[in-house]
Structure 1
Amino acid sequence: MTGWHAPDDLVTRYADGSLPEADAWSLETHLENCGPCAVRVSHAARAGAAGVMLAQVRGAVLNAVREPAPATARTPAPATTQVPVSASAPAVPRGARAVGGRLARIAWAAGPALRGAWSAAVVLVAVGAVALAYGGGSASARPFLLAVAPIVPVAGVALSYGRHADPLHEIVAASPSGGLRLLLMRTSAVLAVSLPLLTAAGLLLPPSGSRLPAAPAAATWLLPGLALTLASLVLSGYVGCRNATAVVGGGWLLALAAPALSATGSGLTARLTQQLSLYFTGASLQGGWAAAAALCALLLAARRSAYDRLETM
C-alpha cells in the first residue's frame, strides 16, 4: 500500500465506465494493493446504475441459499460400497490446484489459436518439413518452410482474436483488459509458439544441395515474420483482424508465388529459393524488415485507442 489514494472523480468515472482504458488499468493495479480505495470503488459501483441490479442478484442468491433443498428419496447404498473419500481418491494438494488453475487461466488468456487446431498445424508444418527432407529426400523442404513460416504467426493472430474465433469475444474485448492489450497478449502467445518451433525445424533441415542455389539461413525469416505480424495488427485497426490477416498473408504468398511461377529456365524449387534470397538475404534487407517492424509498433502505439472496441459491434 502507498500513501497515494485515488481521487473521488477517478473512482466515479471508473465505476460508471467512462474512465479511459490506460487509466482504468492503472487504477486496477492500485486497487490490488490498496484496501481503502477498493472499498470506495465498491461503494461507488453500488451507488451507480449497476447498484440496483447487483442488489437484486445478491438478494436472489441469498434467497436461494436460505431455502431448504427439497427432500428426495434415495435408496441407501449397501454398507460394503461406502468407502471413505480419503481412501477412494487421494487428496490434491492446495498448491497443485493453484498451479493447475493458473495454467488454465494462462491457456485461456492465450487465445483460441493455442487451444485449437492452429498449434497442431504449426507442429505439422515443422515436423512435415523435417520428414520431407530426411524421409523423402526432397530438396524443397527448406524453401517450403521459409516461404510458409512468416505467415504462420499471421494465421495464428487471425484465429486468436475476433467474433469468428472467440465466442466470448464481445464480453472480453469490452472489458478494461480488452482491446489492444488483449490483442498483443494473444499475439505474443502465438509468436512464443511459432518462432522457436519453426526456427528449430529450419536448423534441422539439410542444405539445399549442389544442384540448387543456397537457401537463406534458418533464422532469416524471423524479422520478416515479426514485421508481417505487426503489419496485420496495424491493418486490423482499419478493416478488422480477419480481413487484415487475409490481406497480409495473401500479399506475402502472392509476392513469392507470382515471380517464381512466371519465371522460366530452372525448376520451381530453384526459382522459389532465389526469390526467398531476394527477400531475406543481406544486412540491408534484414535492416529494412527491422525498420518496418519498428514503424508498425509505433503506429500501434499511436492508434491504441482505435482497438478499445475492435470487433465488438
Structure 2
Amino acid sequence: MTGWHAPDHLIAGYADGSLPDADAWSLEKHLESCASCAGRVSGAVRATQAGPVLAEVRDTVLAAARPAPLRTPRLLWAAAPAVRGAWLPAVLLVAFGAVVLAHVADFPGARPLLLAVAPVVPVAGVALSYGRHADPLHELAASTPSAGLRLALVRTAVVLAVSLPLLTLTGVVLPSSGAPGAAAWLLPGLALTLAALALGGWLGLRTATAVTGGGWLCAVLAPVLATPDGAVSRHLSDQLSLYVGGAGAQGGWAAAAALCAALLAARRTAYDRLERP
C-alpha cells in the first residue's frame, strides 16, 4: 500500500483515454501497489462506453483459459532467462571442472583457480540474462511498468541464488593449498556484480560486465602468467590472499559493494531507457 492515492480527475482522464501518456504510465505503476486505486480505476473504466465490450472480452478470455494448464507466475516468467541458455551449464562446468582438477588431475591450485574465476561467474550471468540477446520477449517486457532496473534485479537475484551456494560448496570440497577460505570470493563477487549493474546505466550491461569481469581477471591472473613453471599454484594463492584474504581486504570489498549499491540506486532511472524498444 501507499500513502498517496490518485485523484478523481486523474482516474477519469485515464478511463476516457484523455490522460497524457506520461501520466497514464505513472498511474499504471501506482496501481501495481495500490489495490484501492486499482479498484477505483476498474470501476471508472467499466462505467465508460467501452465497459461492456471489455467485460465481454474478459469473459471470453477466461472461458478460453479454463481448460488450459496453470500459467507460469509472473515472477518466474521474469526470472526465466537467468536460468536458461548456456549460463547454467557453464556454472556447472566450472564447479565440476574444479573438482576434477583437484581430485583426478591432482592439481594443487584448483581452489585458488576457482576463487579467481568465481567472482566473474555471476557477473557473466547477469550479462547473459538481460537484454534483447537473452530474452525473445525483451521488447515486450521493456514496455511494461515493471521493466528497467526492477527486472534486471530480479534476474540478478536468480543468478546469485544459483551461483553463490554452488561455487562456495565446490570450494569447500577442494584442498586449500594455502588459498583463502571457500567463501572468500562472495563479497568480491557481489561487489563486481553491483559494479556491473551500476556501470550498465552508462555503458550498457554487456559492456559493463566485460569491463568489470575482465578487469578482475586481468588483475588476478595477469601477474601469474609471468610466474616461472612450477610456482603457478603458489603465486596464484598469494594473489588471492592479497585480493580477498584477511579482514582488511574483505572490508574493502564490503565498502565497494555498498558504494556500488548506492550508485545504482542513484542511477536507477537509467535502466528505464536501457535497451528500450
**Which of the five TM-score ranges fits, normalised by the shorter chain?**
0.7 to 0.9
- Matching of residue 278 in structure 1 with residue 247 in structure 2: no
Instruction: List, as ranges, runs of 4+ consecutive aligned residues in structure 1 with deviation greater than 6 Å.
Output: 1-4, 20-23
Say which of 191, 198, 202 aligns to 2:160: 191
Which residue of structure 2 aligns with residue 37 of structure 1?
40
Q: How does 1:136-151 map to 2 (within 5 A)?
A: 136-151=105-120
- Matching of residue 108 in structure 1 with residue 72 in structure 2: no
Which residue of structure 1 aligns with residue 216 of structure 2?
252
Which residue of structure 2 aligns with residue 8 of structure 1?
8
Q: How does 1:1-313 map to 2 (within 5 A)?
A: 6-11=6-11, 12=13, 16-19=20-23, 24-31=28-35, 36-40=39-43, 42=45, 98=70, 101-102=71-72, 105-208=74-177, 214-264=178-228, 267-313=231-277
Report the identity percentage: 57
The secondary structure found in structure 2 opposite 1:39 is helix
CA contact (8 A) 1:107 1:114 kept: no
- CA positional deviation for 1:304: 1.1
- CA positional deviation for 1:8: 3.0
- 1:50-106 deviations in Å (ceiling 9; x for gaps): x8xxx79x89xx8xxxxxxxxxxxxxxxxxxxxxxxxxxxxx9x9xx55xx44x644
For residues 184 and 27 of structure 1, the distance between their equivalents in structure 2, rounded to whole angstroms, comes to: 21
Q: TM-score, normalised by structure 2?
A: 0.83
For residues 180 and 24 of structure 2, the distance between their equivalents in structure 1, rounded to whole angstroms, comes to: 46
The secondary structure found in structure 2 opposite 1:164 is coil
- Structure 2, unmatched stretches of 5+, are 61-66
The secondary structure found in structure 2 opposite 1:202 is helix
The secondary structure found in structure 1 opposite 2:33 is helix
- 1:16-39 deviations in Å (ceiling 9; x for gaps): 5414977643322213x6663141
For residues 25 and 305 of structure 1, the distance between their equivalents in structure 2, rounded to whole angstroms, comes to: 14
CA contact (8 A) 1:174 1:309 kept: no
The secondary structure found in structure 2 opposite 1:18 is helix
- CA positional deviation for 1:129: 1.0
Q: Relative to structure 1, is the Cα distance of residues 186 and 125 closer, same or farther in structure 2, using a 3 angstrom cutoff?
A: same
Which residue of structure 1 aligns with residue 63 of structure 2?
none
Rg larger in 1 or in 2?
A: 1
Name the aligned partner's letter for residue 233 of structure 1. Answer: L
CA contact (8 A) 1:153 1:190 kept: yes
For residues 194 and 113 of structure 2, the distance between their equivalents in structure 1, rounded to whole angstroms, comes to: 23
Q: TM-score, normalised by structure 1?
A: 0.74
CA contact (8 A) 2:109 2:236 kept: no
For residues 20 and 270 of structure 1, the distance between their equivalents in structure 2, rounded to whole angstroms, comes to: 61
- CA positional deviation for 1:108: 2.6
- 1:158-188 deviations in Å (ceiling 9; x for gaps): 1111112112212211210000100111100
The secondary structure found in structure 2 opposite 1:159 is helix
Which residue of structure 2 aligns with residue 81 of structure 1?
none
